[in-house]
Structure 1
Amino acid sequence: MSTKAVNKKTSFIPKAPALSWWALLLLWAVFAMNAIDREMMFRVMPAIVEEYNIGADTVGTVTALIMFSTGILAAVGMSWSDRGGKGWARKYRHLPIVVAYTLFSILTGVGFLTAGIMGFMILQVLKNAAGGLGEGIEVTSVAEWWPKEARGFALGAHHAGYPWGALIGGLIITAILSVTGDDWRMVFLLIPLLMIPIFTAYWMFARPSRFKKYQEKALEMGLTPTIDEGEANEVNRKGAVIDSLKNPNILVGAICCCLGIAVFTGINFWLAPYLTFVADFTITEAAGWSVIFTITGGIGQIFWGTLSDKIGRKITLLICFAWLAVSFWLFQFVASGLTALILIQLFAGCATNAIFPVLYSLVTDSAKKGYIGTANGIALTGLYTGGLSPFVLGLLIQAGGGWNSSSGYMSGLYFMIACMILAFFLILFFTRETVGAKRGRDFSLVSKESCNIYDNTVQNDKSSISV
């Protein structure tokens, strides 16, 4: 069966080898735990504020430093990961990273290590630095275990592990806080232990014989493996990062990742304190009700990721960024009642997480041969630079009267809306479509060749090898 024939299939769920689905399931669970580790501090933020007795500006600065650290290892670390092996072999450099972010998360729950806010911040910075690199490896591993024709679906389904992991984590956190009397340290001590059996299962699954079988089955189905057998053993040349940054799709993709995480991190920083200090929810209630958007967050990632395989990455991103601008404007009404809180979160959740797998797909589509991990690392570096947004939000909240005044929170919302409008126009003017009927035929101020897009598959393969 030809690739064109596969693309004409009308089924929303794509065909793929069974081993691709197993890899997706296991890597989903790994990424869900990575997400839970990263989101725990947001869910217990009111309790942390009360214990350390700190203002919004201090919390914003601490949170910004923690989130910014998530991207500091990504670009260089992913190049390091590429050199250690691709496909199934990527697990060898994945293991120490998983151990690191799990361990530092657990240590955050040790009382004498976090007796002051500085100890808490240092451990979370170390944890997030490892977790960000882990995300890059996890995303790239999924791309390598799936054929190119279903890349948007695979990355969207995989990234559903973040919102749904956060939802599962939020429920577990609420239960732990209820039993322990708001002891936030027990959350860090207990939940990360779940990673041990999960990653063990993936380690045992990822074997060379299985990866070769996946590649053979994909070819039998008329699909295109993301990496071929020879590429799995290739070592990247020096200069992969600089070379990739010259590609507008990768550079602008990274910038829009930055803007996207600025609002995603921002709303996580914003919501639980707003519900606690302005809307008069208890700490436990705020932890539970602030994760409703994660329900549609996972659905949105799968839907928009899959749709991007059919209608294109660029048009999908334009729709999602416009959707988010409207969504964040609506958040000013979440204190109107429980119904409003639920409906607004569900509406926003349709796109809050969806932009990231589509951006990763855009970047992966545009990468030169052998540079997928490096390109995703650049996207992740850009992504978590946006983690500095709580610093801005903290200043706005403090300037507006502090934790108990709604004025600063509203200023923060309009800051996030502006970020989404900027991302919309960057995608419109400075990227090129990589898949679908409009591939290379869309409106843009940059050339398709600069984005590694050529008129046919043969030319594109040649360009991917060129330096």
Structure 2
Amino acid sequence: MADNSPSLLDRSRTVAGPGYNRWLIPPAALAIHLAIGQAYAFSVFKKPLGALLSGDVDHPAPGDWTPGQIGWIFSIAIVLLGLSAAIFGKWLERVGPRKAMMAAALCFSGGFFVGALGVKLHSLALLYFGYGFMGGIGLGIGYISPVSTLIKWFPDRKGVATGMAIMGFGGGAMIASPLSVALMAHFKDTAPMGVAPTFITLGIIYFIFMQFGVWSIRVPADDWAPEGYVPNAEHSALITSGNVSADNAIKTPQFWLLWVVLLMNVTAGIGVLETASPLIQDTFSDKAMGPGRGVTAAAAAGFVGLLSLFNLLGRFFWSSASDKLGRKPTYMIYFGLGVILYALIPTLGHNAQLALFVATACVIISMYGGGFATVPAYLSDLFGKYQVGAIHGRLLTAWSTAGVLGPVIVNYLHESRKAEGFTGAAAYQSVFYTMAGLLVVGFLANLAVTAVNQRYFEKGPVAVAAGGH
């Protein structure tokens, strides 16, 4: 006789009973996001991967991989993040967060194992497939898996809840970077640059760490609501009383306006993150500051770390603030203030005002992170909770696009200015003015967002917590 009982990974096995403490859900989400946030620390592998044959990061052998070849590993991962989030979003809503989180853990960790084989065999194709393709799918499913669950548990504090989880993605590199460096140093005598065993160790560590999220996640019962919670639209006329499916959401102008909003915010933010270390060293060199007073490589690394911290903090601060301010006004701040700050950066560099330059860059990056963390709540306001995870997944294709577009724009503009003979702050001037222009486009797109037309709403009763299935 066949056993038809649901597996431990099925959504039906994760429905919380009466009296369940919803504050146990953010740590489960954070466990997933802290793990996959390792992607932001990939740069620590760039030089070691480029010296596997020579064993000397400063003098690579003829057969060693070039920085350009290695750079594609991260690009593939980010592109697959957006594509997999879009493709698997509806599946996630159907099967629930536990099965999705397990799939994310298997793909993300498996990517490390296949990548380690690629390193050992010196096969770039295997590395692209492992860390890039498989790992990227793990990133995408892992990124969206807790989001709709958090929104269903925290309809009264959507910004706070999603900010807590997505904060982990911004901060994952702060753990992964020193851990990876320490592991490579530990294994350097047993394998070229210590990379392959480091990949294997990270794959094991992250798979185990993600299991906390897999097995502690719960979804609320269909009829659950926080005690005393009354749905209202006190902050904005944009907050819908209906529910829109993922398939219908992409037919609305609101979805595509938010797609442009996210694209512009991320493209501009990557403009700073992509060039942070060389930017501050070139702008505040000994020539600009005086002999012995320029920013050193070590100080530049500190600047990059500071930006990571503000990326993390901004995700929680701004998304939480959006619960009070409303989502649309919060994005008005991101873009309105952002235009001023981006346009100010070249002047601060030209005038050698280092402290103000650093402070301005930190605020910019806090809003970059805030843009990621606020968008799920914005989507829930506009489209309801029904398939918000799937809608969020489709919107993340804007991130994939920005991941390619941002570095291309920055590198082209910077190289063009250098070719014209500009140095220091002047070589980056067109970069920041262009990014300010992109933020103007984002400001206008956000300004045009209105309430979703009721013709897109689902007809009849909708089982929100079950994703309508």
Task: Give the TM-score normalised by the residue count of structure 1.
Answer: 0.72
Alignment correspondent of 1:363: 379
Query: Map of 1:431-446 to 2, 5 A cutoff?
Result: 431-432=449-450
Superposition deviation, residue 131 in structure 1: 0.5
Selected match of 2:339 from 325, 331, 335 = 325
Q: Secondary structure at the match of 1:160?
A: helix
Q: Computing the radius of gyration over CA atoms, which structure comes out larger, 1 or 2?
A: 2
Verify: 1:257 aligned to 2:273, yes or no. no
Which one of the candidate residues 367, 373, 380 is aligned to 1:351?
367
Match in the other structure for 1:372: 388
Question: 1:53 Cα shift?
Answer: 6.8
Instruction: Please name the residue that 1:105 is paired with.
Output: 112
- 1:76-91 aligned at under 5 Å gives the runs 76-84=87-95, 89-91=96-98
Identify the structure with the greater helix proportion.
1
The Cα offsets for residues 389-435 of structure 1, whole Å up to 9 and x where unpaired, read as 22333333444449x96566444333333222211111012x12xxx
TM-score normalised per structure 2: 0.72
Which one is further off, 337-346 or 273-282?
273-282
Task: Tell me the distance in 1 between the aligned counterparts of 2:112 and 2:320.
Answer: 33
Q: Aligned residues, how many? A: 405
- Cα shift at 1:355: 1.1
Aligned to 2:80: 69
> Which of 207, 213, 223 matches 1:202?
213
Q: Is the 8 A contact 1:360 1:379 kept in 2?
A: no
Q: How far did 1:451 drift?
A: 9.4
Distance 1:395 1:60 in 2: 16
Gapped runs of 5+ residues in structure 2? Answer: 1-18, 51-56, 232-242, 286-293
Paired residue secondary structure (2:438): helix
Aligned-pair distance for 1:80?
1.6
Residues in 2 aligned to 1:194 and 1:391: alpha-carbon distance in whole angstroms: 34
1:148 paired residue among 133, 141, 155: 155
Q: Which residue of 1 aligns with 2:453?
A: 449
1:415 aligns with 2:396: no
Structure 1 residues 390 and 183, CA gap change in structure 2 (3 angstroms) = farther
1:167 alignment counterpart: 174
The yes-or-no answer on 1:135 pairing with 2:134 is no
1:108/1:120 contact within 8 Å kept: yes
How far apart are 1:63 and its partner, in Å?
5.0
Instruction: Give the match's secondary structure for 2:386.
Output: coil
- Paired residues for 1:4-83 under 5 Å: 19-36=21-38, 38-45=39-46, 54=66, 63-83=74-94
Identity value in percent: 16
Residue 69 and residue 196 in structure 1: after superposition, are their counterparts in 2 closer, same or farther (change >3 A)?
Answer: closer
Contact kept, 8 Å, 2:82 with 2:398, in 1: the verdict is yes
| Shift of residue 100, structure 1, vs aligned partner | 0.5
Report the 3-state secondary structure (helix = DSSP H, G, I; strand = E; otherwise coil) of the residue aligned with 2:36. helix
Displacement of 1:32 after TM fit? Answer: 1.5
- 1:284, 1:110 → 2: CA distance? 33
Residue type of the partner of 2:400?
A: Y
Residue by residue over 1:23-65, the C-alpha shift from the partner in whole angstroms, topping out at 9 and shown as x without a partner, is 10121121121112x1122355466576557467x77766544
Match of 1:394 in 2: 411
- Gap regions ≥5 residues in structure 1: 1-16, 225-235, 433-439, 441-447, 454-458
Could you tell me which amino acid in structure 2 is paired with residue 32 of structure 1?
A: L
Q: State the alpha-carbon separation in 2 of the partners of residues 395 and 59 from structure 1.
A: 19
What residue number does 2:288 align with? none
Shift of 1:98: 2.0
Q: Is the 8 A contact 2:83 2:397 kept in 1?
A: yes
Contact 2:82–2:397 at 8 Å: present in 1 too? yes
CA distance in 1, matches of 2:164, 2:390: 22
Equivalent residue letter for 1:67: I
Give, as a single letter, the amino acid of the residue that structure 1 aligns with 2:41: M
1:178 shift after superposition = 7.1
